[in-house]
Amino acid sequence: MIVKRFQNHVAESRIALPLTGVYAFLVCAAGGLFADKLWLQFGLLAISSFLIMLLNNSNALIRIYSRMVSCSFLALAVMSHFLFVDIRCGIVQSCFISFYLFLFSAYQDNRAIGRVFYAFMMLGIASVFFVQILYLVPVAWILLCTNIMIRNLRAFFASILGIVVPYWFVGAYYIYCGQMDYIPNHFQELIQFDSIMEWPTMPLSHIVTASYVAILSVMGMIHFRLNNYKDKIRTRMLFEIFSVMAICSIVFIILQPQHIDFLLALLIVSSSPMIGHYIALTNTRITNISFYIILILTVILTFINIWMPF
């Protein structure tokens, strides 16, 4: 007989997501939503939460009824309050989730050239605000062939066109404004690398938060690797994409810590499904204890990141 523990009752509860939404709103309010008029940032968080919910629902990421993917995302997103106040991080995060949505919808469909185009267009839009995300494009091409299983030149050229399209509009705008050197200067940032020794200059709260999310991500990866035989092949393929992107984000953070904020925003998106899968589909005494620890540490880090600026 399977024993349902506290984590399972929470994971399968229909009120888990509404309660997490209320919690997220209260955290945002405490972090200056009203005082600093962070309504646009809050709107982006709401959009990202809705998109992650669509990602979970449309791909059946968890094989039982559970909203843990959305709950995990919301909890980690508001925990990283320094990301919430930066509107650029919110835009990049929303675009990255949209990239997953379009990419996954093209699974094993060689005619889904339009969806491949839109997926990479999301990366193109994100690169306007964080150009270094383009380093993930070669990884995305490999995953397009190996996991989404679309292997044709039309999809490859559609992906290139998708990345370029946002710059048609951005370039035209800056040419109109007389800033002809914007595009060259923007892409020049791709070859500007800081030393890994920049770590001591990073805010401690950012380092601790990123390390915590990375640990949760690795824990989720290990759990899924040990139990993926219970899931469908399609689900395994999609979670491999999350794992690869999460590993790339972690390695990128280690090598170029000056981009920790944007990369942490990407890492949260890739890690949330794996953390949600871990919470929803484990039921041992040890995992139940780990769930309590995750809850407590997440709340502690949330309040630290809110009150540190003050």
Express each pLDDT in 60-118 by its tens digit: 999 899 999 999 999 999 999 999 999 999 999 999 999 999 999 999 998 999 999 99
User: What's the pLDDT tens digit per position in 121-156?
Assistant: 999 999 999 999 999 999 999 999 999 999 899 999
User: What's the pLDDT tens digit per position in 249-280?
Assistant: 999 999 999 999 999 999 999 999 999 999 99
Give the orientation angle of helix 39-59 with respect to helix 16-30, to 10 degrees. 160
- The per-residue pLDDT for 197 is 74
User: What's the pLDDT tens digit per position in 198-244?
Assistant: 788 888 999 999 999 999 999 999 999 998 888 899 999 999 999 99
Locate 18 and state its tokens: 């509404």
Q: Are 5 and 283 in contact (CB under 8 A)?
A: yes
Whether the predicted pLDDT of 51 surpasses 80: yes
Closest by CA position to 260, among listed 295, 300, 212: 212
Confidence of residue 307 (pLDDT cuts 50, 70, 90): confident
Quick one: CA torsion of 262, 266, 272, 273, rounded to 10 degrees?
180
Closest by CA position to 309, among listed 91, 129, 44, 84: 84
Strands (E), the chain: none
SS3 245: helix
Whether the predicted pLDDT of 183 surpasses 60: yes
Average of per-residue pLDDT values in the chain: 93
CA angle 164, 166, 169 (to 5 degrees): 115
Q: The whole model's pTM is what?
A: 0.95
280-307 average pLDDT score:
93
- The per-residue pLDDT for 308 is 73
Confidence of residue 2 (pLDDT cuts 50, 70, 90): low
DSSP string, 184-225: HHHHHGGG----GGGGGGS-HHHHHHHHHHHHHHHHHHHHHH
The 3-state secondary structure of 39-59, one letter per residue:
HHHHHHHHHHHHHHHHHHHHH
Locate 209 and state its tokens: 């938060």
- The per-residue pLDDT for 4 is 81
- The per-residue pLDDT for 135 is 96
Element at 99 (helix H, strand E): helix 87-105
